[in-house]
Chain A
Amino acid sequence: MLARRRMTFVSLTFLLFLALTVAGYWALKRRNLQNGFLVAASYLFYGWWDYRFLGLLVASSLVDFAVGLALERTDSPRRRALLISISVVANLGLLGFFKYFNFFAHSAQAAASALGFELSPFTLNVTLPVGISFYTFQTLSYGIDVYRRELRATSSLIDYLAYVSFFPQLVAGPIERATNLLPQFQRSRHLDPLRVAEGCRLVLWGFFKKAAIADNLGRLVDTVYGNPGAHSGGAIAVATIAFAFQIYCDFSGYSDIAIGCARFFGFDLMRNFAYPYFSQDVAEFWRRWHISLSTWFRDYVFVPLGGSRRGPRRTAINIFITFVVSGLWHGAAWTFVIWGAINGLAVMIKPLLPQGPRRSPRETPGGTRLIPDPATLTRILGTFALICLTWVFFRASDVETAAAMLVRMFSFAGGTGIAAVLRDPRHLAGMALVVVLIVVEWTRRDSPDVLRCSRWPLLVRMAIYTIMLWATVLLLPPSQSPFIYFQF
């Protein structure tokens, strides 16, 4: 459990911290000093949650820094293999201990019990360090990239620590590759007004998605998922749709704020979401959803398994394995494994079928027409419906509950209905904002920057930003929820 209070992006503390850090950073003229300052600020940001876990972050960073340097100095294949094994074992060992120990202990006990053996339960009361799944993947990818000779190891510890700990993306991504972010720490940055303005818009849009939409939808979702047996099939379906948008607004909101904040310091982080709910098949969805993680698994799991080089059947199996592993990454529970497996099944069918169009996340999703043709609309809605079904496993407390919820949903079971669930003004406001979100994103889907409207008069833009900001403040729920992806 994440028991302690962390410095969340949607807080006055973070705004003060950000303002002071930006000011301090640009007051320093030399790149090395700026990087050192960012490391200190990032450690303060992380330590605000629990300073004791800073040691893990530093340890994970140092292992791969040392491995990188050692890899750079040797051409011996055996020695290189040994070095990268150290990195993999150290990072996955850290992750395994803190995240998966109890899961595997429970599962082993259950499996033994099913076979007629009784194992005494042995679990540990461990706190999951926030961001561990993100920064271990980031340091791991650095080591692997150096091993593959796709990247030269850096000899500057400060640059490297700044790359791993950069606070905007430290605790929930985007999971940056060293090939993209590290070189940015190795060159001088300058304050670019356009990028700062872009950053401001992204931060504002991210705040709106997280605080106004996701947190209000979260109340609706918690009400229904907290007591699914009392709710009708329709209410469960509405809550599942609400969860689909809650998790999207929560995580893409976080990513927007992270990317926006990074712009204030002159950095470009990778795009993490590209209007995923306008996808026309599940494979496209996964090219548009949590892009930094999807591409990580593609490059470090799917490709080493053989990728698509060994024929359609083997490709399909590799896709399935990759998705199951991705499910396990999301959480140490069978619900996540099943969630990954269902997504894997939906994507693995594609290589087995005659080749259709492969839609890139850079393309405008759903085509360029304002009103989509019926076939496109059907594909979008069908994909969304399928994704929603998988979210039931993602959100439910356990597999039995998820299965029972699906049964209630499809048997049109009675109980507290949709009208009763939407009677709470905040629930209704959350769903109304979903409609606003869909309209805004659909009309702006040709650009990664939703709020960009530079051709509009300045005062109109200011009015829009002001209304958004104060609407966000007014719609803040009385108790804020932590970002969902913090638990991973």
Chain B
Amino acid sequence: MRPLLSKLALFIVIQMAVLAAVIALYQVDHSGFLASTHDKRARLAKLSSPKVILVGGSAVAFGFDSPAIERSVGMPVVNMGLQGSLGLTIKLREVEPFVGPGDVVILSLEYQHYAGQILEGLTLWGYIEQRPGVLGDLGFRELKVLADSGQLYLRNLATGAARVLVLGQGIHAHPPYTRRSQNAWGDVIAQDTVPHPGLGDLEFHLRPFSERKVDAAMEALRELNHHAQDVGATVYIYFPPLPRGRIAPADEARLLDLEQRLASATSIVRLNQVKDATLPEDLFFDTLYHLTRRGQKINSQRLITALSARIHAPQPGAPH
């Protein structure tokens, strides 16, 4: 048994040494899209209440013109939109401690979030590269996804290290998927600096949902809403726009189903309706949810109109 154990130990030591070399060579991309989390978090922590917090994935990062919203509603805005595939709970947990009295939290989540369908291991690994501390906050589902994709992350590490070894540099993102492509509010603004790929033949699809996952998503939304109510803030749902004519009837039925479930499972006020949340396809930059600058302005104007009617309306019991 001893010879085996010593050989096994030698093998493990060699692999650990290779892994250490890989990690040492690998360069974390501090200029990429996910790295913008540092700027967004810094702005969120800096702003005092009342403020407007835009929450979601890239639908939010690519979806709004925050300075315009700020001017219209008279409150500072922070765009926390990052990447849809980080999953719902991470996004909600990230903003929850910063929600204060009078704040307005706008959830403009990708539809798949309401069905608990987006959580992608490699994005999660990339986020942990930026914020290792988040590892301690992950739930079982996220840890499972991380473990399931661990081999792919290892591959990314090895590929990145090999690039540094051969080319002298790691993998770097290109605009608009960089940290510098975003303004101080956290909106992506570099769409006009690069060619506009358009949607091609992309269509919106929503897989049939699992009841368990929908329930879990609704529970997470309810929790945030309760917390907001406790501190005197308000949470709104604003459905992100989809390209007109790119939704199959079956998917449209699922969207309406989700909207109904949302209405019955939570008391969160919806600022728009799914059926109205569409835009012409030329206002989409490169994929679903990602708007061009013009698309951002139109979408923001719609939000401003819906939001102004709410926050400037007299509250029940308030003096006229």
Residues of A within 8 A of B (CB): 5, 7, 10-13, 16, 191, 193-194, 196-197, 200, 211, 458, 462, 465-466, 469-470, 473-474, 476, 478, 480
Contacts and interface: CB of A to CB of B under 8 A. Distances in A.
B148 A474 contact: no
B148 A5 contact: yes
Interface in B264-318: none
Task: Tell me the dominant secondary structure on chain A's binding face.
Answer: helix
Contacts of B150: 11-13
Contact of B155 (A194, A200, A462, A476): A476
B4 A197 contact: yes
Contact of B1 (A191, A211, A480): A191
Given A462-B10, A469-B15, A12 B162 contact: no
B4 A196 contact: yes
A13 B1 contact: no
Contacts, number: 57
Given A11-B150, A193-B5, A480-B151, 18 more contacts: A5-B148, A7-B148, A11-B147, A11-B149, A11-B151, A12-B150, A16-B147, A193-B4, A197-B4, A462-B10, A466-B11, A466-B14, A466-B18, A469-B15, A473-B158, A474-B158, A474-B159, A476-B152
Contacts of A197: 4, 7
A194 B5 CA distance: 11
A331 B8 CA distance: 41
B144 interface: yes
A16 B7 CA distance: 20
B134 interface: no
Contacts of B144: 13
B154 interface: yes
7 contacts: A12-B151, A13-B147, A200-B8, A211-B151, A466-B18, A473-B158, A474-B155
Given A193-B3, A193-B4, A196-B4, A473 B151 contact: yes
The listed residue with most B CB atoms (<10 A of its CB), out of A10, A12, A191, A193, is: A12
Which 10 residue pairs spanning A and B have beta carbons closest together?
A12-B150, A193-B4, A13-B147, A476-B155, A13-B148, A473-B158, A474-B158, A12-B147, A12-B151, A473-B155
A465 B11 contact: yes
Interface string B6-34: 01101100110010000000000000000
B159 to A, nearest CB: 6
B186 to A, nearest CB: 28
A194 to B, nearest CB: 8
A462 B4 contact: no
Contacts of B18: 466, 470
Nearest to B10: A462
A196 B11 CA distance: 14
Contacts of B159: 474
Contacts of A196: 4
A462 B151 contact: no
Contact of B148 (A11, A193, A462, A469): A11
B14 A462 contact: yes
Contacts of B1: 191, 193
Contacts of A476: 151-152, 155
A473 B22 CA distance: 12
Contacts of A12: 147-151, 154
Interface string B151-168: 110110011001000000
A473 B154 contact: yes
